[in-house]
Structure 1
Amino acid sequence: MKPKNLIFICTDQMRFDALSATGNKVVRTENIDRIASEGITLRRHHTPNQICSPSRASMATGLYPRHHGLWRNGVTLDPDLPNLWTLLSQAGYETHAVGKLHYQPLLASSSLNMPESIAFWDRPDAQRWSGPYYGFREVELVMGEANESVKAGHYAAWLKAHHPEAVRLYEPEASANGRAADLTEVWKSAVPQELHYTSWIAGRAVDFIREASANAPFCLYVSFPDPHHPFAPPAPYSDLFDPAEMPRPNARAGELDRMPSYLQIGDDPTKDAYIGDGQAVREQGFLLRTDSISERTMATAIAHTFGMIKMIDDCVGRILDALEQAGKSGDTYILFTSDHGELLGDHGLLRKGPPPYRQLLQVPLLVRGPKIPRGAVTDELTSHIDLFATFASLLVGEKPASDGMDLTPLLTGLPGFSRDYLFAEYHPRKDAELYNQTIVSKDWRFTRYPNRGEWGELFDLASDPFEHRNLFYDDGHDTPVRDLDDVLSRHMPPRPEIPNEVLGAY
């Protein structure tokens, strides 16, 4: 039997309902929706961690962060750990990645010689490096989002070499409209869309598909840094959606009063979401409360997010068309997902951070390929930790050891898959008391804070699917709290300290 190919498409900070196939009533993601209509939509898919690097490492290794060691941004993933890319490369696959990987810290010291660190790209020979890397025989890196993307990586080197005049156009000062005063991460990028990194990633992916050997199967990992903040798409995507017509965030008056008290304080929306030299440490995700952000600015952030989603959709269309033109559609699995979600004003919060709300943990997962029924939908609980086992099974018939489950029966319409619980765990950058552990069942989401026993979160997902009323402090819910806490303790006892050195803020 001829080996099958894999195109693994990952975005950054895209929540479950970002696509028209999964509930977006504003953006028509007709290209990504093709994967859903020709394959399966997994409607209750989750990440085990709402921060970039830990989640991405879980997708690759099939392990919880406590087991793969990349427990927060700023830590590196052990390249000797088994992962999907290495397994496929060893099985004869041509493995290639383009875009954001984030297995190493951006701010690691130059002495560590890490290709995903900004310091690495100060080396005179850096531009000649392209791998191998974590099982990929060749990589083409985009590092950072918006104006951060021009500091290092293959894309930055390409832009500086071929379009140096465009580098400054990434800065908010180049925008004709400037940036919003009450949320400085909102502006219209002046970069021409054809030079933007989202377009560059799609172009490099298309080139790889066209040039891929006919004699070997391939695995192509395509990773878009957007729709991660800053909220700064280029034209025409910055103008596709009228802020005045955007849906209002899904928030309820007083709902944060029922949550752990740390949510009474958020990051400063007038600060950039990074930690510069000499700045005080800030918590992961740079979580914001939206109290001081005007409705107009918040609506613009939503409109710009939708613009970024549409730009990604157009680029996915280019990739799907190239695959079809190459005559490889029938032999290729295509997966679309995101590392984690975005609050986007829901609960009166923006960006991401410690609270494991549904908007952060639940992400899209669409899969198309051989033997997958067209237009299938499932509400079974699935996780990023399942992807290694699943595609090792589908592509090379192996069953690697992992924390996850093989989703092959679920994807192909066969019996044999069932799961009662999912788990998630957040390790903080700054405050140890924010360490939290989560269990999700079909009916409940329960979160505990082992270093602050008086904090907790309990949501009845049947009556409150968007998690507005925390029942943890209410009388009458002792039984679900006790039962879920017991299951969590059996499967994931508290482990606030992970022995892997922090090499940078992120």
Structure 2
Amino acid sequence: MALRPNILIFMTDQEQADVVGPDHPCQTPNADRLAAEGIRFTRTFTPTAHCCPARATFFTGLYPSRHGIYNNVRTRTAIHEGLNEGVVTFGERLADVGYKLTLCGKWHVTAHEDPADRGWEERAVTAAGGTFHSRSIDDWRAGPNGVDTSDDKRPRGHVQRPGWGDFVVYKTLANGGPKGYENLHDYKVVQEAIAAMDELTAQDDPWCLFVGPIGPHDPFNVPKKFVDMYDPADVPLPASYSDSLEDKPRIYQRQRRQLWDQLSEEEVRESIAHYWAYCTLEDALLGELLDALDASGEADNTLVIFLSDHGDYVGSHGLYLKGVPAFREAYHVPCIVRWPKGDPRARTRGRCNRHAGGLCADLSRTGRSAVAGETYRSQPCAFFGRREAQLMARCFPQPVQRRGTLLHPAHGGDG
């Protein structure tokens, strides 16, 4: 194994840890394949259930209180739109020791900087400086779905929000090509990533390739080929679906009663089936990347990381999406790591880990010491089996108990 292995990162958007588990009905054969050859971390938690601060933590190894991104940067309620002065990303440190960097897909870290500003070659980038996902900020401000059916009968899978526009929870799309997804944004991102991999492996320098699809982020709009893999009648409601939320903050109750209770139990089952289908689609794209890496001849010298920025409630506690509530489904994320050949760490670990951004931020595998001032502690200590340091002793409004370990999720809405 080389001192400076290549690094391939596949970060999905809004994927629950549960769906990638070995005993879950959601089909993720490529994640299972990766886990069989590496480590499946079963207790990895994101620091915050918002895209931007979670991704900023991944890229910097810092808590939001240190890197300066507290909630999503392209919203009217953004607290801070850029990284704090002097904050350095792991990509910059990799570049300092000779790595070639390429980023394909979703960035969504700051409102003012693109990946190129931090040393990355950009390919098919979305959610960069002036965009929200793959749309312009002006399109987003016009409404997430651009239709208001509040004066009509509510369409199936819609949540009506008079004056703002319907929120479309799920929809079945026509198949695109033999694979079913060849007309979708994320397929194009992965094809760009495979092309970039071909170029990176043709030269001698070590490389880091970040691939960021926008799925399975809502809305759960999925081609029929994948939807047909799951029968909603066989999908159970989440165990917490009956939670009245009477003992929870009032905002939790308002979200459920004003929005998500519009969905019938049958629609909830259909939405979960669509979400699973979306996760299976993203798993197929992960498989295309792994196949391309194998074909390149560089798999034995490449560190592969699969994870998500945060999760989604998908009907748990009667809620959807993420953000305000501090329930496990939004904070518990998948994390699977496969080390280069010659490293014997192919085992499941159940210890409570923080987001895997620390793995890249530490750079201990690339001949660099830990990032100065790093607060979101890096993962190699857990990977190597050493005792993990105690979690940061800091009080936030919504502590969450996990088997005697206190996690402190926080987000921009706290006051």
TM-score, with normalisation over the residues of structure 1?
0.67
Deviation at 1:366, TM superposition (A): 0.7
> Which residue of structure 1 aligns with residue 65 of structure 2?
66
> Which residue of structure 1 aligns with residue 5 of structure 2?
4
The aligned amino acid for 2:191 is G
**Distance in 2 separating the partners of 1:303 and 1:350:** 14
The aligned amino acid for 1:57 is A
**Distance in 1 separating the partners of 2:30 and 2:409:** 39
1:32 aligns with 2:3: no
1:77 aligns with 2:83: yes
> Which residue of structure 1 aligns with residue 284 of structure 2?
314
> Which residue of structure 2 aligns with residue 294 of structure 1?
264
The aligned amino acid for 1:94 is K
Q: Secondary structure at the match of 2:333?
A: coil
Equivalent residue in structure 2 for 1:340, among 287, 310, 314: 310
**Distance in 2 separating the partners of 1:69 and 1:221:** 22
Deviation at 1:240, TM superposition (A): 2.4
1:196 aligns with 2:184: yes
Deviation at 1:209, TM superposition (A): 1.3
1:384 aligns with 2:355: yes
Deviation at 1:261, TM superposition (A): 2.3
Deviation at 1:299, TM superposition (A): 1.2
> Is the 1:424–1:438 contact (alpha carbons within 8 Å) kept by the matching residues of 2?
no
**Distance in 2 separating the partners of 1:50 and 1:424:** 18
The aligned amino acid for 1:30 is P
> 5+ unaligned residues in a row in structure 1: which ranges?
106-113, 117-130, 154-169, 270-287, 426-434, 450-493, 498-506
**Distance in 1 separating the partners of 2:387 and 2:394:** 20
Deviates more, 1:49-58 or 1:188-197: 188-197
> 5+ unaligned residues in a row in structure 2: which ranges?
74-80, 138-144, 149-154, 160-166
Q: Compared with structure 1, are the counterparts of its residues 76 and 254 closer, same or farther at alpha carbon in structure 2 (3 Å cutoff)?
A: same
> Which residue of structure 1 aligns with residue 251 of structure 2?
262
> Is the 2:13–2:213 contact (alpha carbons within 8 Å) kept by the matching residues of 1?
yes
The aligned amino acid for 1:342 is D
Equivalent residue in structure 1 for 2:157, among 154, 175, 180: 180
> Which residue of structure 2 aligns with residue 487 of structure 1?
none
Alignment of 1:107-506 (within 5 A): 114=112, 132-143=116-127, 151-152=135-136, 180-182=157-159, 184-190=168-174, 192=176, 193-212=181-200, 213-251=202-240, 253-266=242-255, 288=259, 290-370=260-340, 371-373=342-344, 375-384=346-355, 387-388=358-359, 391-401=362-372, 402-412=374-384, 414=385, 416-421=386-391, 436-438=397-399, 440=401, 442-443=403-404, 445=406
> Which residue of structure 2 aligns with residue 504 of structure 1?
none
**Distance in 2 separating the partners of 1:225 and 1:93:** 26
> Is the 1:58–1:385 contact (alpha carbons within 8 Å) kept by the matching residues of 2?
no
**Distance in 2 separating the partners of 1:172 and 1:303:** 24
Q: Compared with structure 1, are the counterparts of its residues 48 and 343 closer, same or farther at alpha carbon in structure 2 (3 Å cutoff)?
A: same
The aligned amino acid for 1:249 is P
1:100 aligns with 2:84: no
> Is the 1:410–1:417 contact (alpha carbons within 8 Å) kept by the matching residues of 2?
yes
Deviations 1:112-141 (A, max 9, x none): xx466xxxxxxxxxxxxxx62323133431
> Is the 1:40–1:366 contact (alpha carbons within 8 Å) kept by the matching residues of 2?
yes
Deviations 1:145-175 (A, max 9, x none): xxx865359xxxxxxxxxxxxxxxx9999xx
Deviates more, 1:84-93 or 1:132-141: 132-141
Deviation at 1:440, TM superposition (A): 4.9
Deviation at 1:262, TM superposition (A): 2.2
Q: Compared with structure 1, are the counterparts of its residues 230 and 219 closer, same or farther at alpha carbon in structure 2 (3 Å cutoff)?
A: same
TM-score, with normalisation over the residues of structure 2?
0.81
**Distance in 2 separating the partners of 1:207 and 1:295:** 44
Question: Percent same amino acid among aligned pairs?
Answer: 26
> Is the 2:9–2:211 contact (alpha carbons within 8 Å) kept by the matching residues of 1?
yes
> Is the 2:43–2:352 contact (alpha carbons within 8 Å) kept by the matching residues of 1?
yes
Q: Compared with structure 1, are the counterparts of its residues 11 and 181 closer, same or farther at alpha carbon in structure 2 (3 Å cutoff)?
A: closer
Q: Secondary structure at the match of 2:286?
A: helix
Q: Compared with structure 1, are the counterparts of its residues 102 and 191 closer, same or farther at alpha carbon in structure 2 (3 Å cutoff)?
A: farther
**Distance in 2 separating the partners of 1:252 and 1:294:** 12
Q: Secondary structure at the match of 2:246?
A: helix
Q: Secondary structure at the match of 2:349?
A: strand
Deviations 1:284-331 (A, max 9, x none): xxxx5x322111211111111111111111111111011111100110
Q: Compared with structure 1, are the counterparts of its residues 495 and 31 closer, same or farther at alpha carbon in structure 2 (3 Å cutoff)?
A: closer
User: Relative contact order (C-alpha < 8 Å, sep 6+): which is higher?
Assistant: 2
Q: Compared with structure 1, are the counterparts of its residues 198 and 378 closer, same or farther at alpha carbon in structure 2 (3 Å cutoff)?
A: same
Deviation at 1:251, TM superposition (A): 1.5
> Which residue of structure 2 aligns with residue 15 of structure 1?
16
**Distance in 2 separating the partners of 1:437 and 1:15:** 20
> Is the 1:89–1:95 contact (alpha carbons within 8 Å) kept by the matching residues of 2?
yes
Q: Compared with structure 1, are the counterparts of its residues 187 and 439 closer, same or farther at alpha carbon in structure 2 (3 Å cutoff)?
A: closer
> Which residue of structure 1 aligns with residue 142 of structure 2?
none
